[in-house]
């Protein structure tokens, strides 16, 4: 029986994939499988994956005939996974030796639906420990309760899918698949759904995942239209939250988070191509118009002046545009 399936999408990460693949070999076990998904790489990454398949037990390689994005690549891996537990790893990150064995032992001891872990952020030569924003470690908790409070950073803001381990029952219930086609912020609707629908989780202080920041091929470094998928991702968060039984309680958190992300992108609008920047303003204005008015007013009143000013200006743009269209 396969105990753990590790899903690893790769796209044009030839410079970093050797570290990733080496760390998988250092985590191999006879009851682990590593599902490598090549999202139509063009830089030689595919050759590395083929060699890994031939040289490491338990490695399976799937290749997309066209580039489909991270969400779809992860879904390809989920459809092939046979393990009792599921883990994710990105093709430019790496693991400490034996990390998955330690994580699995703790998850089984706690017997909860999923566990979340701290990680090490690597930017050049600098390394920084990033903690899950949840107070207690090693204690089984209610995932829904961990969404709030609205005015504080919580577990749904720590959306990294690779920072954890997930029991197969979540996959069987349809809770682990990502929104197909999302190229950025794909983990936002995913983590919200997980916290709303799963019955139990725990946070672990286990450090063994190394997250590489500042990679030139990463979408966070590219200012094209793919970045704007965050709008579709957060629109889904709001839509799903509005349909939830606790919508009134959860909506302020969803709106506040969406507003913070819009403000962040507006603050770095100079990195976008001019046409993309114009589209960003238009889509962000529409998003604000579609938010529950009373909730949005309360959120803006509670935010710092700089961010609230940016968002209010966008909202006025939305009202002006709408009025001109009606005329």
Tokens representing 15 are 């410079």
pLDDT at residue 327 is higher than 50: no
β-strand pairing of 114-117 with 201-204: parallel
pLDDT at residue 221 is higher than 60: no
Nearest Cα residue to 234 out of 279, 282, 190 = 190
Asked if residues 119 and 207 have their Cβ atoms less than 8 Å apart, the reply is: yes
Residue spans of beta strands (DSSP E) within 200-263: 201-204, 209-213
Contacts of 315 (CB under 8 A, 6+ apart): 285, 288, 289, 296
Nearest Cα residue to 231 out of 170, 271, 281, 270 = 281
66-75, 200-209, 218-227: least confidently modelled range: 218-227
Average confidence (pLDDT) over 246-268: 97
Confidence of residue 56 (pLDDT cuts 50, 70, 90): confident
Nearest Cα residue to 146 out of 158, 138, 128 = 158
List pLDDT tens digits, range 105-130.
999 999 999 999 999 999 999 999 99
Contacts of 203 (CB under 8 A, 6+ apart): 115, 116, 117, 132, 134, 136, 137, 138, 139, 141, 155
Nearest Cα residue to 178 out of 160, 164, 151, 163 = 160
Average confidence (pLDDT) over 181-194: 96
CATH fold of 4-215: Spore Coat Polysaccharide Biosynthesis Protein SpsA; Chain A (3.90.550)
pLDDT at residue 323 is higher than 50: no
Tokens representing 263 are 């403000």
pLDDT at residue 325 is higher than 60: no
Tokens representing 140 are 């089984």
């Amino acid at each position: 029986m396969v105990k753990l399936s590790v899903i690893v999408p790769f796209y044009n990460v030839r410079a970093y994939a050797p570290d990733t693949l080496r760390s998988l070999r250092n985590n191999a076990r006879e009851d682990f499988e590593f599902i490598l998904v090549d999202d139509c790489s063009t830089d030689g990454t595919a050759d590395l994956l083929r060699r890994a398949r031939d040289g490491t037990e338990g490695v399976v390689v799937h290749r997309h005939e066209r580039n489909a994005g991270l969400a779809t690549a992860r879904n390809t891996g989920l459809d092939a996974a046979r393990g009792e537990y599921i883990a994710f790893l990105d093709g430019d990150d790496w693991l400490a030796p034996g990390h998955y064995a330690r994580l699995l032992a703790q998850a089984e001891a706690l017997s909860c639906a999923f566990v979340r872990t701290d990680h090490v952020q690597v930017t050049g030569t600098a390394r920084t420990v990033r903690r899950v924003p949840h107070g207690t470690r090693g204690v089984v908790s209610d995932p829904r309760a961990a969404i709030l409070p609205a005015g504080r950073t919580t577990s749904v803001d720590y959306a990294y899918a690779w920072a954890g381990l997930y029991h197969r029952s979540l996959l069987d219930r349809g809770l682990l698949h990502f929104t197909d086609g999302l190229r950025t912020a794909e983990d936002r609707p995913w983590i919200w759904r997980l916290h709303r629908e799963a019955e139990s989780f725990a946070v672990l202080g286990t450090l063994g995942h190394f997250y590489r920041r500042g990679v030139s091929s990463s979408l966070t470094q590219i200012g094209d239209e793919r970045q704007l998928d965050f709008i579709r991702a957060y629109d889904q968060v709001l839509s799903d939250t509005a349909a939830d039984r606790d919508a009134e309680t959860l909506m302020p958190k969803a709106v506040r988070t969406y507003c913070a992300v819009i403000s962040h992108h507006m603050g770095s609008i100079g990195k976008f191509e001019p046409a993309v920047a114009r589209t960003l303003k238009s889509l962000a204005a529409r998003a604000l118009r579609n938010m529950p008015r009373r909730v949005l007013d309360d959120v803006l009143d509670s935010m710092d002046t700089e961010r609230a000013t940016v968002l209010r200006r966008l909202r006025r743009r939305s009202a002006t545009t709408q009025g001109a269209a009606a005329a």
